[in-house]
Chains A and B, each alone.
Chain A
Amino acid sequence: MSQFIVRSGPFTHAPTSVRATMGLVLVALLPATAFNLWLFGWPALFMFLATLIFCLLAEAGCLILAKKPLMPSLGDGSVALTGWLLAMSLPPWAPWWICLLGAIFAVVLAKHLFGGLGQNVFNPAMVGRVALLVSFPLQMTAFVSARPLGSAAAPGFGQSLGMIFGHTPWPDQVSAASALGYVKTELSRGVPVTQSMHHLPDLMDMALGLHPGSFGETSALLLLLGGLLLLARRVITWHIPTAVMGSLFVLATLFHAVDPGRYAGGLFHLLSGATFLGAFFIATDYVTSPVTKKGQLVYGCGVGGLTWLIRTFAGYPEGMAFAVLLMNALTPIIDHHFRPRAFGRTPQGDPLPLKDRT
């Protein structure tokens, strides 16, 4: 009794915790992760584990330097989630040093220099990915076509270990461009979108995840499944995912209708790249997104719109990570402008006028 009397109420609390929230997100990521582990084989597993472990180590190191207790922060699942999402946004066969640098960018630079959990203004996993992409464009765009575990083409355990941690070269002919990258390259040499589309997996394969891309982003359907779980458990609300995908889809469809040779269609944009991963798991990061629902809608539309803009016009084929970071930067301003209206006050904060009662 002595410990808590120094606190004012309430004296009952909902059975929620940071750990439970993060745990649910991890569970929601499981289906897509498992599928892609199968799809991309042993090297992907090593890459995934390496990223996760490096992130945990980086967190531990920072906590020690900051003289903070290790366990609550390491155990609450937030850094595991950062590492997990970082791994999901890396090429499936990225070498260990990419994982290490990514962990440092994400956990040290983007999170702990700002003071740790909850204090950061940019999404750590996306900072990790973008810093890597900008620094190592070559390695970060080296995707592989699917070679399911157990299939003849899949690299073996030892070979995979060598590929991720040593200098074992990749098997021949595995390197492939992502759908967005392919369309962009073709466009840059004058091949219209309508034509390059024929060389891409069909939409069903795209939805299932049978196409080259980052480790965790390919399977739209399984990501959707995880997203629905989060929605059902109220970890996230519909606002951000809907706004992200809606704005992306609407913009892409409109422009596609105007000039199909120049602009890819709405469905293609939804199913390629990190649209589902981003909409459900990344743009929704609590820490770096607005806290109000209206703000979240604006933020989501911004992410979707910028993703389309960057994919369509800028130098990089994929724009989700940049869009998320750009909107992260706008989040304080959005929060400032979309504060809810206080009870009994006008949106400007003055008391409501008293209506004449008759």
Chain B
Amino acid sequence: MQNYVLLMVGAALVNNVVLVRFLGLCSFMGVTTKVDTATGMGMATTFVLTVSSVLTWALETFLLVPNDLTYLRTVTFILVIAAVVQFTEMVVKKISPALFQTLGIYLPLITTNCSVLGIPLLNVEQHHNFMQSMLYGFASALGFSLILVVFAGLRERLALAEVPRLFAGPPIAFITASLLALAFMGFSGISTN
């Protein structure tokens, strides 16, 4: 139990996907102009990452390793993830326009977010079992969502600040992210195993 908690704290805070692992940065920069968008994206990513962690665990355990096909890992992982995400999007769009507006519209963004491949690959690298894979995916996505929302809050405030012309927009966003990463270094060294 304690192991799982540590695993999750590690994935969410200490080795935060965005600020430490450097995964999913394009979404991080793209969807954080508004808190609402960031929240939606966070929820959608949490869903996809959890599902894809489980799926790829199955793929790895039942197809790739038994047949010595690990060289196909990257290809099969990303293929399955992309297709599943696209399929989910279609299903949500059809069955619930409301859900589509809150979650579904974010799904296409997720395929081009490298955390959906990065986290499954990390799962493999760290030899996670089924439960660990799922929790790791889930917690990483929570960490991702947290940073997304926090950063969106900061950017909403920056949008109202008198930032010098040279830095307004993306440059100051990166500098803010830099200071956020600096703050997160406070968590470094928390042992998670």
Contacts and interface: CB of A to CB of B under 8 A. Distances in A.
Contacts of A114: 158, 161, 163, 167, 172, 175
B157 A121 contact: yes
A115 interface: yes
Interface string B150-193: 11011011100111100100001001100110111111111100
A310 B154 contact: no
Interface stretch (A163-171, A274-282, A325-333): A325-333
Nearest to A119: B161
Which secondary structure characterizes the binding site on chain B? Answer: helix
B35 interface: yes
B139 interface: no
Contact of A322 (B150, B162, B185): B185
B186 A325 contact: yes
B149 interface: yes
Which secondary structure characterizes the binding site on chain A? Answer: helix
A93 B179 CA distance: 26
Given A314-B188, A315-B188, A316-B189, A333 B35 contact: yes
Interface in B102-161: 149-151, 153-154, 156-158, 161
Contacts of B184: 326
Given A131-B182, A134-B182, A328-B183, A119 B163 contact: yes
Nearest to A66: B164
Given A113-B167, A115-B162, A332 B183 contact: no
B11 to A, nearest CB: 16
Nearest to B167: A113
B179 A134 contact: no
Contacts of B182: 127, 130-131, 134, 325
Given A134-B182, A321-B186, 12 more contacts: A113-B167, A114-B167, A114-B175, A115-B161, A119-B162, A121-B158, A127-B179, A134-B185, A314-B186, A315-B188, A316-B186, A316-B188
Contacts of A122: 176, 179, 183
